[in-house]
């Protein structure tokens, strides 16, 4: 079991969701974050006050998957979120010690297998 | 003078009406597109546009006798505004020209470069609005034909709506249009904008009598009644279709009701004003639904609201005008069906010139400078890329730049060093 954490551009979120859906990845969390990854800073001016904004808006996906889902998930995010410019983001794959599904008490791989997939 | 001030309020009101319909990354840009006309289009109008629109000239266009505001003095202007000074008449007409220009911006939100836009609004008010205003109000061929347009159904709304359609076609769609939903970022702004537009519109229609007389009273009353009727019909259609009365629908209905009554306001009796507002909801409502299913990203539906609403109002003016009320001309119900034909000619003439002229103008500007922002800029939003500002700043990650610049770079370097060390 792995936890995939992906940081992507906000304007690529729809495309990433679409790609994940096609890869049959059904469970995920999304949050808006700010980060810095080597992009050029934006300069903003409000009357006499000029600032450099070093933090850029990003969106973080957190997806818990069973091992054989890692590669398709990573591939889906990679192809959907890439523009080729600096600032496309990162994907981290983290080991996971334990997973529980709160509703049923299922553990580990069973807990991250979508219900629809089980009934198939 | 009071009416001029009222109409002036409509331009920022329009900015908020449109601004609420776009996302947070484009709200400043969208509001500014309206505000900018108060500078660029206003100056162009004062210097050249007014003279081309309202000086006698020929049937197609005025001449340059009032260019640079020569002869625009404090003496009453015959025959345009017999009871007000020429200078006030110029200012009153300026607000109409400016809001017409601002209306077009709804078609091109979130993707047009600001330099190209400013060039466009400066030239459009002269080469497109000027001639059409002259045709109907400045002694041109549509006025001579007997076309009835009390406050600008044809000159303002059909004109702006067709120009918007042309602009959307030249600019092209927003990236991801049709793939991604573009939802309004601030519906309360839209409602607030609609309310302020209604308030200002009393000056727009009432003032178009160019005197404080019984015709101004009629226009005022109709401006009060029609949007209400339009809202009733619109929200009923909403209710039938989705089972809900929507806030966006109510705000849109107010504006469409105002658009529809504009050409008719000083010509139809109040009971028919109510009917005009009610009937007027139907075409715009269905064109708006249909437009959203097409591949044309005419983003904020200026065509459906203003071209369709303005044309509906112009034609209904030909149906419901009553000479006993307006002192000018009867429509169909009072035994003059020919008036409908005249109204259709006026709408078609203005629509054709506006669409083709705007299309050509944008192509010419586009040959000189890029009209569209890059896809990357679109992703970041127009506020940050065109204006270097954000509507809702948190200040997180903002590093103050000192006048000499050096301290800021040093501070930034140190800050980044820390982040990297942590990583």
* Residue B388 contacts A where some CB pair is shorter than 8 Å: yes
Q: Which of A10, A11, A16, A21 to mutate to test the interface with B (most CBs of B within 10 A)?
A: A11
Name the residue in chain B with its Cα closest to that of A40. Answer: B412
Cβ of A24 under 8 Å from any chain B Cβ?
Answer: no
End-to-end CA distance of chain B: 65
Helices B114-124 and B338-368 sit at what angle, rounded to 10 degrees? 140
**A45 close to B (CB below 8 A):** yes
Q: With CB atoms and an 8 Å threshold, state whether B398 touches A50.
A: no
CB contact under 8 A, A52 and B180: no
Measured between CB atoms, does B406 come within 8 Å of chain A? no
Residue contacts between A and B (CB atoms, under 8 Å): 53
Q: Tell me, what's the pLDDT at B421?
A: 46
Confidence grade of residue A117 (pLDDT, cut at 50, 70, 90): low
- In angstroms, the CA B168 to CA B149 distance is 26
Q: What is the tally of structural domains in chain A?
A: 1
A47 and chain B: CB distance < 8 Å anywhere?
no
List average pLDDT for each run of 10 residues in chain B, which is 423 residues long.
92 97 96 97 96 92 93 83 90 96 96 97 97 93 92 95 97 90 94 97 92 91 97 96 95 97 95 96 96 93 96 95 88 90 95 97 96 92 93 81 60 49 44
DSSP assignments along B315-336, one per residue: HHHHHH--HHHHSS---GGGT-
CATH number assigned to the domain comprising residue A89: 3.30.70.120
User: How many angstroms away from the CA of B398 is the closest CA of chain A?
Assistant: 4
Residues B166 and B376: their CA atoms lie apart, in Å, by 24
Q: What are phi and psi of B22, to 5 degrees?
A: -110, 170
Question: Using the beta-carbon criterion (under 8 Å), do A51 and B180 form an inter-chain contact?
Answer: no
Q: Nearest-CA residue of chain A relative to B378?
A: A11
Beta carbons of A8 and A79 less than 8 angstroms apart: no
User: A53 or B199: whose pLDDT is higher?
Assistant: B199
Q: Chain A within 8 Å of B416 (Cβ-Cβ)?
A: yes
Is pLDDT above 50 for A99? yes
Provide the domain limits for residue A25.
Answer: 2-119
Residue of A55, A82, A89, A92 for testing the chain B interface, max B β-carbons within 10 Å:
A55
Q: What is the DSSP string of B378-405?
A: HHH-HIIIIIS--SS---TTEEEPPTTS
pTM of the model: 0.88
Element (H, E) at B313: helix B309-320
Are A106 and A41 spatial neighbours (Cβ–Cβ below 8 Å)? Answer: no
Query: What's the token pair of residue A111?
Result: 């807990």
> Buried b vs exposed e over A91-110: b needs ≥16 C-beta within 10 Å?
bebeeeeebeeeeeeeeeee
Q: Alpha-carbon distance B193 to B196, whole Å?
A: 5
Burial of residue A69 (CB within 10 Å: 0-12, 13-18, 19+) is buried
Of the partner residues B380, B393, B412, the one whose CB lies closest to the CB of residue A52: B412
DSSP 8-state class, residue B111? T
Q: How many Å apart are CA B138 and CA B215, to the nearest integer?
A: 20
| Residues of B (172-201) whose Cβ lies below 8 Å from A | 176, 179-180
Q: Does B334 touch chain A (CB under 8 A)?
A: no
Whether residues B397 and A46 touch (CB distance < 8 A) is answered with: no
């Amino acid at each position: 079991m792995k936890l995939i954490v992906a940081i992507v551009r906000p304007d690529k979120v729809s495309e990433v969701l679409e790609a994940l859906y096609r890869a049959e990845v059904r469970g995920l969390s999304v949050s808006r974050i700010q980060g810095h990854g080597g992009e050029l800073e934006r300069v903003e001016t409000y009357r006499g006050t000029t600032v450099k904004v070093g933090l850029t808006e990003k969106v973080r996906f957190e997806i818990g998957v069973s091992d054989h889902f890692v590669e398709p998930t990573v591939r889906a995010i990679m192809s959907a979120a890439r523009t080729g410019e600096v600032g496309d983001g990162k994907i981290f794959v983290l080991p996971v010690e334990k997973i529980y599904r709160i509703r049923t008490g299922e553990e580990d791989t069973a807990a991250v297998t979508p219900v629809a997939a089980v009934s198939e | 003078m009071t009416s001029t001030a009222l109409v002036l309020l409509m331009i920022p009101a329009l900015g908020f009406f449109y601004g609420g319909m776009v996302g947070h990354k484009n709200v400043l840009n969208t509001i500014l597109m309206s505000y900018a006309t108060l500078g660029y289009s206003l100056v162009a109008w004062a210097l050249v546009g007014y003279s081309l629109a309202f000086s006698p000239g020929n049937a197609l266009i005025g001449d340059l006798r009032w260019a640079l505001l020569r002869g625009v003095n404090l003496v009453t202007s015959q025959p345009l505004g017999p009871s007000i000074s020429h200078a006030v008449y110029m200012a009153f007409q300026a607000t109409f020209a400016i809001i017409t220009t601002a209306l077009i911006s709804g078609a091109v939100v979130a993707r047009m470069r600001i330099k190209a836009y400013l060039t466009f609004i400066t030239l459009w008010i002269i080469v497109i609005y000027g001639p059409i205003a002259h045709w109907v109000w400045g002694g041109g061929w549509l006025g001579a034909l007997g076309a009835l347009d009390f406050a600008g159904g044809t000159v303002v709304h059909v004109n702006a709506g067709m120009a918007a359609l042309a602009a959307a076609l030249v600019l092209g769609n927003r990236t991801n249009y049709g793939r991604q939903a573009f939802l309004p970022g601030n519906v309360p702004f839209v409602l607030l904008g609609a309310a302020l537009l209604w308030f200002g519109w009393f000056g727009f229609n009432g003032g178009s009598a160019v005197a404080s007389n019984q015709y101004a009273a009629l226009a005022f009353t109709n401006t009060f009644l029609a949007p209400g009727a339009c809202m009733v019909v619109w929200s009923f259609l909403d209710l039938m279709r989705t089972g809900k009365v929507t806030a966006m629908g109510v705000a849109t209905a107010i504006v469409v009701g105002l658009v529809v009554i504009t050409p008719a306001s000083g010509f139809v009796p109040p009971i028919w004003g109510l009917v005009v507002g009610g009937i007027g909801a139907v075409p715009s409502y269905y064109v708006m639904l249909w437009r959203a299913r097409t591949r044309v990203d005419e983003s904020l539906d200026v065509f459906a609201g203003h071209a369709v609403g303005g044309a509906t109002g112009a034609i209904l003016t030909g149906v419901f005008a009553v000479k006993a009320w307006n002192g000018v001309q009867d429509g169909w119900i009072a035994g003059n069906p020919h008036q409908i034909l005249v109204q259709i000619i006026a709408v078609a003439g203005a629509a054709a010139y506006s669409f083709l002229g705007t299309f050509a103008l944008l192509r010419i500007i586009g040959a000189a400078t890029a009209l569209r922002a890059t896809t990357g800029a679109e992703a970041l939003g127009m506020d940050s890329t065109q204006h270097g500002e954000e509507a809702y700043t948190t200040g997180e990650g903002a590093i103050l730049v000192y006048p000499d610049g050096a301290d800021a770079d040093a501070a930034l370097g140190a800050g980044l060093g820390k982040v990297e060390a942590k990583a």
